[in-house]
Amino acid sequence: MGDLLTIRDLRLEAGNRSEPVVIIKGLDLDLDRGEVLGLVGESGAGKSSAGLATMGYVRDGVRFAGGSVVFDGTELVGLARGRLRRLHGKRIAYVAQSAAASFNPAKKLIDQYSEGPRLHRVRSRKEAERDAVALYRQMQLPDPEEIGFRYPHQVSGGQLQRAMTAMAMSCRPDLIIFDEPTTALDVTTQIEVLGAIRDIVEDYDSAAIYISHDLAVVSQMADRICVMKDGEEVETAPTRQMLDHPRQDYTRSLWSVRSFRRPEAEEAEETALIRCRTLSASYGAVPVLRGLDFAFPQGRTTAVVGESGSGKSTLARVLAGLLPPSEGEVFWRGEPMEMRLSKRRGDMLRNVQMIYQSADTSLNPRHTIREILRRPVRKFSGRRGDDLRARIDELMDLVDLDRAFLDRKPGELSGGQKQRVGIARALAAEPEFVICDEVTSALDQLVAEGILRLLVALQKDLGLTFMFITHDLAVVEAIAHEVIVLKNGRIVEQGSRDAIFKHAREDYTKRLLASVPQMDPDWLDDARRREAELRAREGDTA
Amino acid sequence: MGTLLKSAPPSAIFGLVVLVAVALTGIFAPLIAPYGETEVVGGAYQPWSAAHLLGTDNLGRDMLSRMIFGARNTVGLALLTTALAFSFGAMLGMLAALKGGWLDEVMSRMVDVLMAVPALILALMLLAIVGPSIPNMIGVIAVIYVAPVYRLARAAAMNVVDLDFVEAARLRGERTPWLLWREILPNIWSTLIAEFGVRFCFVFLFIAALSFLGIGIQPPTADWGAMVKENATLISFGDITPLIPAAAIALLTVAINLIVDWMLHRASGLKS
């Protein structure tokens, strides 16, 4: 029995009553006051539904099929809406993944902050605003006196997420649910937000449920971790014990994901497939890339890393021909390369292909997988009839997808399967150079690992050259041969993977490397200390 | 198709029944109608009787027969006009969203000008210039209704053109027609269909209004709007006959909207 929250045999269902889709099948959870519980699992494991259910709330179309949720002596399942509303926000608060989507864009932060306390008659408007400033300060937001009077679009993503956490704290709830609060943030911002959340939860001795697919992050925050799969608990244990001695195979597989490494390549003679000289590009008058010199060696993976806004995606657009460079030259096997898409012909169109971050938007939802693959195959290879069908089947085999998927639409596939279709579509053109734009960042770790393995295998078999854009340095370490570090449109550092990861010269690179969450509960403290030191040093030199 | 109909709510079934009945009436008008469309069969304003179920109109033509032929003229013309407006409006709207730049700017401003003038006044003016005939009327109304369709198609397509699959198609060198018809259109189809239903009603009422004003479908062709006007005098004698074509207009409008509501509901359900 938890002394704050006790969940017994919780079951959630969706769909019609005769053939329900089971979302959670019998979950037991206990939570004491002041305790932080981590919920970990792949997407579809039921973590978010479980988090909402602890508030006595289910999404539209979902219903309680049994079990009980007792919060501080009150049964929440089947509790009248009015009584639930009195608990929500006041005693149980919720912090959603995307703060940008959860704030009302038309109201100032502080007005939204004071809504909860006023509604629950905890504080008057004046008191709430004073309180907001105090909490903003505690969350280490810059300019705490003033920041509340800005609109959500006027502050950065990391600041917004902290403002949202402060808002959840406004009534000093007994329990806060955090649903992937840092997933959408850069690694360096993530550290600040994680640190601020952990401090404030400790200071007010709130209990919390921290939901994430990222084990390394959860292990920083939680006292105890519960691993979920397919709506069931796999195992629960105190954080350190869970990390050191996982009992279940599934848990161990979650751990081992990050240990994937590309097999060492034999030293081959390196020729540059693409070479750029003083490449610059701008959107209108805003310069985004400023004089880049680099090369992509043939048959290798070159990772381009940097925070958002560093120009990674712009570089991809330039090479794809979508944004003509304002200056500089690009050579393809030593020959000048046509940089305007409309001027590119046959082979050049074929040779450069792209795989996108979001598989949801990169496949036309109204076409079947067969139609999606047929077009590029026909266009680039001129195959017809049986030949065409055979090639499409072959592509599905290449990306390890069942041919039965060919007649389905993207909406019926999972995220990882859609990403495989995206890869198959790029391969349909038989390209030499493939731009991978954050291809794994929208996927769960297990699925992402599968995609990385696939890409490495394809590279070996087909001799592909990859440009791999990512902000996830764990992925870079796993598959890159070469690394380019970008910041504000300039190259900070470039070199082989080992040179960058073992002997980084620049502070910026070191900071990026240190920001990757590790499977070590002490990592966050170390990282924050290092960050503070680097800041202080920058302050000295500036 | 069978399962589709089974899943339809009663309101949509009602709409479908009305629509099919009107369509059949229009198609088989010469077979169903007891008298000819313009045939004078008796005295003016005769009351309802066994020979003339709905009586006769101001010139002594059979009211029921004219109602039946009116279905063909009014609904048929409205359908043709709406289809024209949609073909051009949707194509130009998608093109503007895809190309952007000056093309978008020029077309959008032209559409703004069209929309700045009240539709009925614009139609009266244009028809006064080109002269009231059926082809002219179809052309004028189609031009007027291209504007709202263009804006809708452009707005809907704007949400699609920036998606990665359109970029992927561009990267493999697809030309504009492919991008419009294969990548964008299927994704805004449900929006357009829903709008088609609503616009069809507007066009239908617009034609009726123009006919009522005397510059729409010209006599002696039967048309529901004109029939209200021709027999309006009867209202003062407490006869409801002139309200029957008006009721037919109302019924068809409601029926189409019920179907559109159902289709919209289905489209949104399929998306999630």
CATH of the domain at A161: 3.40.50.300
* Closest C-alpha to B89, from B38, B23, B149: B149
- Which residue range(s) make up the domain with A352? 272-505
E-only strand ranges, chain B = none
User: What tokens does A516 get?
Assistant: 């990757």
The answer to the question of residue A119 being in a domain is yes
Residues A317 and A377 in one domain: yes
Q: Which residue of A has its CA nearest to B159?
A: A361
Averaged confidence pLDDT in chain B: 86
The answer to the question of residue A24 being in a domain is no
The least confident of A251-265, A358-372, A517-531 is A251-265
The answer to the question of residue A169 being in a domain is yes
Please answer yes or no on whether B183 and A320 come within 8 Å at the CB atom: no
Q: Which residue of A has its CA nearest to B176?
A: A342
For A460-515, give the DSSP string: HHH--EEEEEES-HHHHHHH-SEEEEEETTEEEEEEEHHHHHHS--SHHHHHHHHT
Residues A380 and A236 in one domain: no
User: What tokens does A503 get?
Assistant: 């002997």
Q: E strand or H helix at B197, and its extent?
A: helix B185-213
Give the residue, A255 or A541, on which the prediction is more confident.
A255
> What residues in B contact A361, CB-CB < 8 Å?
163-165
Amino acid A448: pLDDT: 85
Please answer yes or no on whether A376 and B187 come within 8 Å at the CB atom: no
* Closest C-alpha to A348, from A369, A328, A319, A327: A319
Q: E strand or H helix at A326, and its extent?
A: none
The answer to the question of residue A290 being in a domain is yes
From the list B165, B173, B183, the residue facing A349 with the nearest CB is B173
Please answer yes or no on whether A364 and B170 come within 8 Å at the CB atom: no
User: What tokens does A453 get?
Assistant: 């393995």
> What residues in B contact A364, CB-CB < 8 Å?
165, 182-183, 186-187
Please answer yes or no on whether B164 and A356 come within 8 Å at the CB atom: yes
Residues A284 and A228 in one domain: no
Q: Which residue of B has its CA nearest to A376?
A: B172
User: What tokens does A260 get?
Assistant: 């994937």
pLDDT for A25-46, tens place per residue?
Answer: 888 888 988 889 999 887 778 8
Confidence of residue B39 (pLDDT cuts 50, 70, 90): confident
Query: What separation in angstroms does the CA of B163 have from each of A358, A468, B170?
Result: 10, 20, 11
Residues A345 and A429 in one domain: yes
Could you tell me which residues come within 8 angstroms of residue B244 by beta carbon, excluding any fewer than 6 positions away? B54, B63, B67
Please answer yes or no on whether B186 and A321 come within 8 Å at the CB atom: no
Amino acid B270: pLDDT: 46
The Cα A303–Cα A436 span in angstroms is 9
State whether residue A429 sits within 8 Å of chain B by CB: yes
Measured in degrees and rounded to the nearest 5, phi and psi for residue A6 equal -130, 120
Q: Which residue of A has its CA nearest to B169?
A: A376
Please answer yes or no on whether A361 and B173 come within 8 Å at the CB atom: no
Number of cross-chain residue pairs from A and B with Cβ atoms under 8 Å apart: 48
The Cα B86–Cα B97 span in angstroms is 16
Residues A379 and A492 in one domain: yes
Please answer yes or no on whether B167 and A363 come within 8 Å at the CB atom: no
Amino acid B5: pLDDT: 72
Half-sphere exposure of A461 (CA within 13 A, CB side): 10
Amino acid A318: pLDDT: 92
Q: E strand or H helix at A81, and its extent?
A: helix A81-87
pLDDT for A82-94, tens place per residue?
Answer: 888 888 888 999 9
Q: What is the least distance, in Å, from the CA of A196 to any CA of chain B?
A: 35
pLDDT for A357-382, tens place per residue?
Answer: 887 888 998 899 999 999 999 988 88
Q: What is the least distance, in Å, from the CA of B167 to any CA of chain A?
A: 8
Residues A277 and A244 in one domain: no
DSSP A1: -
Sheet holding A286-297, edge to edge: A286-297, A272-283, A327-332, A335-336
Please answer yes or no on whether A429 and B186 come within 8 Å at the CB atom: no
The Cα A199–Cα A186 span in angstroms is 20
State whether residue A375 sits within 8 Å of chain B by CB: yes
Query: What separation in angstroms does the CA of A530 have from each of A188, A520, A536?
Result: 12, 16, 10
The Cα A493–Cα A133 span in angstroms is 40
Ramachandran region, residue A306 (left: φ > 0; alpha: ψ -120 to 50; beta: rest): left
The answer to the question of residue A524 being in a domain is no
The answer to the question of residue B18 being in a domain is no
Please answer yes or no on whether B170 and A356 come within 8 Å at the CB atom: no
The answer to the question of residue B117 being in a domain is yes
Amino acid B14: pLDDT: 92
Could you tell me which residues come within 8 angstroms of residue B33 by beta carbon, excluding any fewer than 6 positions away? B62, B64, B65, B68, B69
Q: Which residue of B has its CA nearest to A363?
A: B165
pLDDT for B44-87, tens place per residue?
Answer: 778 888 778 888 888 888 888 888 988 888 888 888 999 999 99
User: What tokens does A432 get?
Assistant: 């030499």
* Closest C-alpha to A517, from A456, A484, A471: A471
A203, A231, A256 - which closes a domain: A256
From the list B168, B172, B173, the residue facing A362 with the nearest CB is B168
Contact A95, A206 (CB under 8 A): no
The Cα A303–Cα B89 span in angstroms is 45
Percentage of chain A surpassing pLDDT 70?
Answer: 97
Q: Which residue of A has its CA nearest to B164?
A: A362
Residues A335 and A472 in one domain: yes
Confidence of residue A540 (pLDDT cuts 50, 70, 90): low
What is the number of residues in chain A?
A: 542
Provide the CA B271 distance to its chain's centre, in angstroms.
27
The Cα A294–Cα A261 span in angstroms is 25
Position A162 pLDDT exceeds 60: yes
pLDDT for B206-250, tens place per residue?
Answer: 888 888 788 888 778 888 888 887 888 888 887 888 888 889 888
Contact B190, B225 (CB under 8 A): no
> What residues in B contact A358, CB-CB < 8 Å?
164
CATH of the domain at B127: 1.10.3720.10
Pairing of strands A92-95, A175-179: parallel
State whether residue A379 sits within 8 Å of chain B by CB: yes
The answer to the question of residue B45 being in a domain is no
The mean pLDDT of B159-186, rounded to a whole number, is 90
Amino acid B271: pLDDT: 40
User: What tokens does A513 get?
Assistant: 């490397």
Please answer yes or no on whether B172 and A429 come within 8 Å at the CB atom: yes
Q: What is the least distance, in Å, from the CA of B265 to any CA of chain A?
A: 16
Q: Which amino acid is at A435?
A: I
Please answer yes or no on whether A379 and B172 come within 8 Å at the CB atom: yes
The Cα A378–Cα A391 span in angstroms is 10
Put simply, the chain A residues between 311 and 370 with a CB less than 8 A from any chain B CB are 320-322, 341, 344, 349, 352-354, 356, 358, 361-367
Q: Which residue of A has its CA nearest to B272?
A: A411
Please answer yes or no on whether A341 and B163 come within 8 Å at the CB atom: no
User: What tokens does A392 get?
Assistant: 């499409």
Ramachandran region, residue A3 (left: φ > 0; alpha: ψ -120 to 50; beta: rest): alpha
Please answer yes or no on whether A322 and B183 come within 8 Å at the CB atom: no
Classify the C-alpha dihedral A184-A190-A194-A197 as positive or negative: negative
Q: What is the least distance, in Å, from the CA of B98 to any CA of chain A?
A: 14
Pairing of strands A482-487, A490-496: antiparallel
Classify the C-alpha dihedral A47-A53-A58-A62 as positive or negative: positive
Confidence of residue B93 (pLDDT cuts 50, 70, 90): very high
The Cα A39–Cα A242 span in angstroms is 12
Q: Which residue of A has its CA nearest to B170?
A: A341
Could you tell me which residues come within 8 angstroms of residue B122 by beta carbon, excluding any fewer than 6 positions away? B114, B144
The mean pLDDT of B92-113, rounded to a whole number, is 93
Amino acid A491: pLDDT: 92
The Cα A198–Cα A194 span in angstroms is 6
Contact A364, A372 (CB under 8 A): yes
Q: Which residue of B has its CA nearest to A322?
A: B171
DSSP H helices, A248-311, are: 249-256
* Residue position matching structure tokens 């912090």: A95
- pTM value is 0.80
The answer to the question of residue A531 being in a domain is no
The answer to the question of residue A511 being in a domain is no
Position B4 pLDDT exceeds 80: no
The answer to the question of residue A29 being in a domain is no
User: What tokens does A75 get?
Assistant: 């049964």
Amino acid B90: pLDDT: 95
- Number of structural domains chain B divides into: 1
DSSP A3: S
The Cα A176–Cα A89 span in angstroms is 9
User: What tokens does B204 get?
Assistant: 């239908």
Amino acid B96: pLDDT: 95
The Cα B37–Cα B57 span in angstroms is 12
Position A505 pLDDT exceeds 70: yes
Q: Which residue of A has its CA nearest to B160?
A: A361
From the list B165, B186, B187, the residue facing A362 with the nearest CB is B165
Residues A249 and A300 in one domain: no
Peptide bond into A336 cis (omega under 30): no
Position A525 pLDDT exceeds 70: yes
What ipTM did this prediction achieve? Answer: 0.76
Amino acid B143: pLDDT: 93
pLDDT for A117-150, tens place per residue?
Answer: 888 888 888 889 998 998 888 888 888 888 889 8
Confidence of residue B272 (pLDDT cuts 50, 70, 90): very low
The Cα A294–Cα A484 span in angstroms is 8
Sheet holding A207-212, edge to edge: A92-95, A175-179, A207-212, A36-40, A224-229, A232-238
State whether residue B173 sits within 8 Å of chain A by CB: yes
Instruction: List the single best residue of B159, B160, B161, B164 to mutate versus A (max A Cβ within 10 A).
Output: B164
Amino acid A270: pLDDT: 72
> What residues in B contact A322, CB-CB < 8 Å?
167, 170-171
Please answer yes or no on whether A365 and B187 come within 8 Å at the CB atom: yes
The least confident of A183-192, A260-269, A449-458 is A260-269
Position A347 pLDDT exceeds 60: yes
- Number of structural domains chain A divides into: 2
Please answer yes or no on whether A362 and B164 come within 8 Å at the CB atom: yes
Q: What is the least distance, in Å, from the CA of B96 to any CA of chain A?
A: 18
Please answer yes or no on whether B168 and A356 come within 8 Å at the CB atom: yes
Under DSSP, is residue B185 helix (H, G, I), strand (E, B) or coil?
helix
Amino acid A155: pLDDT: 83
Amino acid B269: pLDDT: 52
The mean pLDDT of B15-34, rounded to a whole number, is 88
Residues A286 and A201 in one domain: no
Put simply, the chain B residues between 149 and 168 with a CB less than 8 A from any chain A CB are 163-165, 167-168
Contact A171, A130 (CB under 8 A): no
State whether residue A409 sits within 8 Å of chain B by CB: no
Percentage of chain A surpassing pLDDT 90?
Answer: 18
DSSP A2: -
Amino acid A257: pLDDT: 65
- Which residue range(s) make up the domain with B78? 72-271
pLDDT for A376-421, tens place per residue?
Answer: 999 888 888 899 999 999 999 989 888 988 988 888 888 888 999 9
Amino acid B1: pLDDT: 56
